[in-house]
Amino acid sequence: MILIIDFGSQFNQLIARRVRECRVYCQIEPPSITSDAIRRLQPEGIILSGGPASIYEKNSPRVDPGIFDLGRPILGICYGMQFMVDTLGGTVKHARKREYGFANLQIKDPQGLFQGLNAQTTCWMSHGDSITSLPPGFQVTGTTDNTPIAAMADPRRNLYGLQFHPEVEHTPKGRLILRNFVFDICGCRRSWTMRSFAEQAVEDIRHTVGEKKVILGLSGGVDSSVAALLLHRAVGPQLTCIFVDNGLLRKGEAATLRQTFKQNLHINTRFVNAASQFLRALKGVSDPERKRKIIGKIFMDVFESEARKIKNAEFLAQGTLYPDIIESVSAFGGPTAVIKSHHNVGGLPRKMRLKLVEPLKLLFKDEVRRLGKAIGLPADMVWRQPFPGPGLAIRVIGEITPQRLEILRNVDELLLEEIKRAGYYRKLWQSFAVLLPLKSVGVMGDQRTYEHIVALRAVTSKDAMTADWARLPHRFLGHVSNRIINEVKGVNRVVYDISSKPPSTIEWE
Ligand code: XMP
């Protein structure tokens, strides 16, 4: 296990990703963790992250200096390196020149961290402070034009520092540097597999839940599906899933889910058809935020009244992921509890006095997919593109009526069928159709038409924070447009959205 101390860098999750890619478990902790607590965690090595503070400022974040006496290898990155230098007797000063962006790293010592690298390599810098003198025992292992001490090492004590960021893509050999640290210096083995994770998680869930009952809100997305299957493995019939059909789903969605969860996986699932309740409340509403609020409120009501029917339930299981948790951990004092607002059932546990079970809270999205595969979730479910909680309500721009929903469903179904047939589905982060609140003139046969316009949206992304419009081939788009206009009654124009995020967003509303 590798422990990462979070000094607040925007790249912390990336450090964790890189370590996990090595199939080595890692955990991010705030600097307030004591060296005794660290000793109990028994990490093979420690990474001190970067961060926005200056070490010589008052109240800059610091970790218990006792970590240097634990006898474990430590790698300090950027601010983490400066903290190491300051604590062990070197000096850090405000640099005359801020260094930001690419730099050419000259490697002085091709051992340890830099094993297998050429004498020169590109690295990515982002710092306003520099190290001006090293603590006793250290030597310079790398320099750049502007930063004479860009890398340092004390191999006797197994302490290392990098002024640049090995975790970002802009440092092409960064992965190798981190691998050298994790495997050669810390001696970790590649033992973090999803199979071993699943075994441990099942054991933990059994231990926590005992003989009690658990409720889980199933959305049909990857996270809640994997969580459901894991819970089912652990406590079988003690688990009841609740699926709320809000009438805003894609075509066939509810039926597919029923088939998968009830018939194929034999998971206790209650399907609640609340479509009319949602549609009634949304009647005449066009404002996207109002749509979201109405949907969130009704969802809570329906979910709660269904959950109350399950007598003596003590736990609520959720598919919360690691990024949701890390985002809420601040460098200056630990968790601040900013869980993403679209965690729909957020208010329920307190209201119903349920205890939370979050078996995926240490995993990243791609790990959840690997876990799903390892525990036998069907491939269709594992590779599902994300789908927003408010569903088609935010893709029918303007007022939501059964007729407009039906048009969008038919277009969407056809688009997905073609996307899957052409092999694009897994390559795209999301692909969907949007119904616009406009009509346009067309001509079909000898007839003038005045019908709906749909927009097609396909994006690539890693995490939905940024996204690029997918360069789907013209021939493909032409074919899909033709089919839509010919086969979906009520549509006479198709446009393709070529905006990226930012400044646009993925959804139109
Ligand atoms: P945007 O449109 O903000 O979307 O670029 C980013 C990601 O979040 C999804 N999304 C939502 N998910 N409730 C959800 O559960 C929502 O209200 C919501 N709005 C957007 C969107 O599909 C994309 O994956």
Domains of the chain listed by start with CATH number: 2-185 (3.40.50.880), 194-382 (3.40.50.620), 397-496 (3.30.300.10)
Pick the catalytic residue: 22, 26, 29, 78?
78
More confident residue, 127 or 45: 45
The minimum-distance atom of ligand 1 relative to the CA of 344 is 15
Average pLDDT, the chain: 92
Respond yes or no: is residue 474 known to be catalytic. Answer: no
At residue 333 the predicted structure's pLDDT band, cuts being 50, 70 and 90, is very low
* pLDDT tens digits, 140-165: 999 999 899 999 999 999 999 999 99
Q: Position 11: which residue type?
A: F
Residue 388 beta carbon below 6 angstroms from any ligand 1 atom: yes
* pLDDT tens digits, 461-471: 987 888 999 99
Is 399 a residue whose pLDDT tops 90?
A: yes
Phi-psi region of 2 (alpha: psi -120 to 50; beta: other; left: phi over 0): beta
Instruction: With H, G, I as helix, E, B as strand and everything else as coil, classify residue 422.
Output: coil
CA 106/CA 104 separation, integer angstroms = 7
Residue 342 beta carbon below 6 angstroms from any ligand 1 atom: yes
* pLDDT tens digits, 25-82: 998 999 999 999 999 999 999 999 999 999 999 999 999 999 999 999 999 999 999 9
Residue 346 beta carbon below 6 angstroms from any ligand 1 atom: no
Is 332 a residue whose pLDDT tops 60?
A: no
Residue closest by Cα to atom 11 of ligand 1: 388
Residues whose CB falls within 8 Å of the CB of residue 454, separated by 6 or more in sequence, listed in order: 407, 408, 411, 433, 434, 435, 436, 484, 491, 493, 494, 495
At residue 99 the predicted structure's pLDDT band, cuts being 50, 70 and 90, is confident
The minimum-distance atom of ligand 1 relative to the CA of 467 is 5
At residue 263 the predicted structure's pLDDT band, cuts being 50, 70 and 90, is confident
CA 457/CA 388 separation, integer angstroms = 14
- 368 Cα–ligand 1 center, Å: 19
- 324 Cα–ligand 1 center, Å: 14
Report the pLDDT value the prediction gives residue 98, as an integer from 0 to 100.
Answer: 77
Q: Which two tokens stand for residue 207?
A: 């231990």
DSSP alpha helix (H) spans, 236-338: 253-258, 275-282, 288-308, 322-326
The minimum-distance atom of ligand 1 relative to the CA of 389 is 15
Residue closest by Cα to atom 14 of ligand 1: 388
Residue closest by Cα to atom 12 of ligand 1: 388
DSSP alpha helix (H) spans, 101-221: 174-179, 194-209
Report the pLDDT value the prediction gives residue 211, as an integer from 0 to 100.
Answer: 95
Respond yes or no: is residue 509 known to be catalytic. Answer: no
CA 467/CA 122 separation, integer angstroms = 26
Peptide bond into 502 cis (omega under 30): yes
Contact by Cβ (8 Å): 47, 77: yes
Pairing of strands 313-317, 355-357: parallel
Pocket mutation for ligand 1, best pick of 431, 507, 509 (most atoms within 8 Å of C-beta)? 507
Is 330 a residue whose pLDDT tops 50?
A: no
Q: Position 274: which residue type?
A: A
| Buried b or exposed e, range 356-371, using 16+ CB within 10 angstroms | ebebbbbbbbebbbbb
Q: Is the dihedral of CA 64, 68, 73, 74 positive or negative?
A: positive
Using CB atoms within 10 Å of the CB of residue 83, give its burial: 0 to 12 exposed, 13 to 18 middle, 19+ buried. Answer: buried
Respond yes or no: is residue 165 known to be catalytic. Answer: yes
Name the percent of the chain lying above pLDDT 70.
95
pTM comes to 0.80
Pairing of strands 159-162, 74-77: parallel
* pLDDT tens digits, 416-461: 999 999 999 999 999 999 999 999 999 988 899 999 999 999 999 9
> In sequence order, what are the beta bridge partners of 77?
162
